[in-house]
Structures are given as C-alpha cells and as structure tokens.
Structure 1
Amino acid sequence: MATDLIISNILRIGRVNVIGDVILFLGKLCVSLASALFAFLMLDTHKYKSSHNKITSPLFPVLACWGLGYVVATLFFAVVEMSIDTIILSYCQDADEHQGTAHYAPPLLIETFGEQNEVQRIAQ
C-alpha cells in the first residue's frame, strides 16, 4: 500500500512537472519575444529615425531587450513554478496522511488528477 502511494505520488509530480515545464517555457518565450517586438516597434518610430537620435541598426537593442525580457520572465515563472510544486506536494502529503485519498484538496484539483470517485464522495 505504501509503495503504491509513493509510486502514485511520483507519477503525479512527474506529470505536473513535465507539462508545467513546457507551458512555462512557452510563457517565457512569449514574454521575451513580446518585449523584443515592443523594442523593435519603439525603435522604428520617427523619433529614432531622425538625424539627432538616429539608430543605424536596431539589432543590438532588440536582442538586449529580448535577453532582458527572458531573464525577467524566468525569474517570474520560477516563483510560479515553486507555487505549483508546493500545491502538488501539499496534495500528495494530504493523500499520504489519509490512506491515498486527499481530504482537504479542492474538488478541481482532485478532478485534475483523475480521481473521479473522490469528487463524488466529497460532493455528497
């Protein structure tokens, strides 16, 4: 029974981490590309094309904004990932303390992990 719970918890955590890593990477990529696009559009305005503030090539500023956007997105999403991991570990601890059934987890989280009979038991 205990080994089944451990294996079940490992599979739950692994599944959430793999899916979460892909989604978080796509989020980082979107944020960094949006910041690079914003930098390019800002540098493409008339203000930076005039003779006094003329920029010959926007490549370096756009790449710098892309890199800075990626760093900021990585720091932000690290906090999000840590909160997701904390919620999953709390769920697994709750399931371990109650012989494989989480008593204090919200119904949506129980439904997400595919434990439909638990959702029906809590609803009654």
Structure 2
Amino acid sequence: TFLFLGVTVALWFYFCLWIESSGTLTETRANVFYYKKDGWMKFTRWYNFFGMLWMAQFIIGCQHMVIAGAVSIWYFKSTTIFGYPFCRAGQQAFKLLSSNVLRVAAINSVGDFVLFLGKVVVVIATVLIGIRMLEHKDGLQHMWVPIALSGLFAYFVAHCFMTVYEMVIDTIFLCFCEDCEQNDGESRPYFMSRGLMEFVENSKKALDIYDTRAKSSATELKSVPTISGDVTRNFSG
C-alpha cells in the first residue's frame, strides 16, 4: 500500500509540474514572468488534485478489503460465512451494527479517536521538523509549499499504517456482532475467545456505570434548592 501511495503521489507531483509550467509566458514586471493559464488549465489543476485523492482512497480501500477478509476468515476459521454480494453484505453489516450499537459503538469510537490522534501527531511532527529545517534556508521563497506537501504525504503514510489497526478493530467487532447474532453460547458455541467476550462485556458495564453516574449527578444538580432569595431577604431584614 505504501509503495502504491508513493507512486500515486509521485505521478500527481509530476503532472503538477507539467500543469504549472503550461500556459502563456507573461511578464508582470521587469524580469518577472509567470505562466498565465486559461480556464481549462485551472480546471485541470483541480482535476489532477482530486484524481490523486480518489486514487489514494481507492488504494486504501483495497487494503481495507484485504485486511477485513483476512480477519473475518481468521475469526470464523471453522465455518463458512454466507458469501453475500456486496450490497446485501453492506445491508447486513448495517443491521448488525444498528442492533448492537450500545454494545460496541462506544468502544469502537474511542479506538478510532485514539488512532486519529496518532495520525495527527505524525503530521504535526512532520510539519514542525520541516519548518525547523527550512526556516533558515536562503533563497527559499515559498517555504509552505514543500511543508504542506510533506504534511499531506505524512498523513497518507500514517493513515496507511494506522488504518491496519482500525480495520482490524472494526472487523473484529463486526464479527463479534455476527457471532452473537448466529450463536447462543450453549447449543451453538461462540467462535469468539473468552478474552474478547469479557472485554466487550466489561466495557459495556463500565459505560453503563458512567452513564448512571452522569444521570444521577444531573438529577442532584436539578434538585439543589435555590437559597439566594432567602439569603437576600434575611440581609434586607
């Protein structure tokens, strides 16, 4: 994935050079020239950019498909899943997640947020290092262009690595929901490990306790009497 992303970004940069060096050479002031572009060239600039984003997401989507397939085969290694077509499989996954939203949504959201913070840290570190390296370079007029490109490429690389863990987590939770839907743990034993079952149930209990405490705290705050009027009357008397 990293190799294909690198090739995609390199091709995008190559076409950027062609686009930016195309047009009519125009003089703005003494010995200062630029390539004046018509409407089609300006459109091509954005077309190239969004084409690069589409290709990058397509490559990452292929990685998601491979990882999800490998994890689901590992989870249900003793049986065969239904083999639904794409649209029906997406509908089934949506139903599973909707029916188990209270059980896994909060845990999954926390995991995705932590992984997103990891991507942000990588991008910030790359940008700060780039600023430090280029701030004293003589003759560099547009310092933020290479820094922005480095930050964008750093995000794609971090996303490429972090999405492996993200996709594994999402697929395991989806397999967990399907396992609970199809099996009862007695006549049809679960495929999940005992550790996964305990982790999900303990997390759900912890979230329920937190919600109960939050609701009780809100109720106590509403039930506290207001004594400001009585105090004011006493001082007035």
Scaled to the shorter chain, the TM-score interval is 0.5 to 0.7
- Which residue in 1 is equivalent to 2:160? 75
- Which residue in 1 is equivalent to 2:109? 18
The one-letter amino acid paired with 1:40 is I
Q: What do residues 6-44 of structure 1 show as CA deviations (whole Å, max 9, x unaligned)?
A: 73x332332233223322221111111111122223324
Which structure: greater strand fraction? 2
Tell me how far 1:65 sits from its aligned partner: 1.2
TM-score (norm 2): 0.36
Q: What do residues 101-121 of structure 1 show as CA deviations (whole Å, max 9, x unaligned)?
A: 8453241x22321259xxxxx
Aligned mates of 2:141, 2:163 — CA distance in 1: 36
Aligned mates of 2:202, 2:159 — CA distance in 1: 33
Q: What do residues 52-99 of structure 1 show as CA deviations (whole Å, max 9, x unaligned)?
A: xx4245322222211221222223333322111111122223333431
- Which residue in 1 is equivalent to 2:198? 111
Aligned mates of 1:84, 1:75 — CA distance in 2: 15
Percent identity (aligned): 33
Q: Which stretches of structure 1, 4 residues or more, deviate above 6 A after TM superposition?
A: none
Would the alpha carbon gap of residues 115 and 33 (structure 1) be closer, same or farther in structure 2, given more than 3 Å must change?
closer
Q: CA RMSD in A?
A: 2.9
Larger radius of gyration: 2
TM-score (norm 1): 0.62
- Which residue in 2 is equivalent to 1:65? 150
Determine which structure has greater relative contact order: mean sequence separation of CA pairs < 8 Å that are 6+ residues apart, divided by chain length.
1
Number of residue pairs matched by the alignment:
103
Structure 1 residues not aligned, in runs of 5+: 1-5, 117-124
- Which residue in 2 is equivalent to 1:29? 120
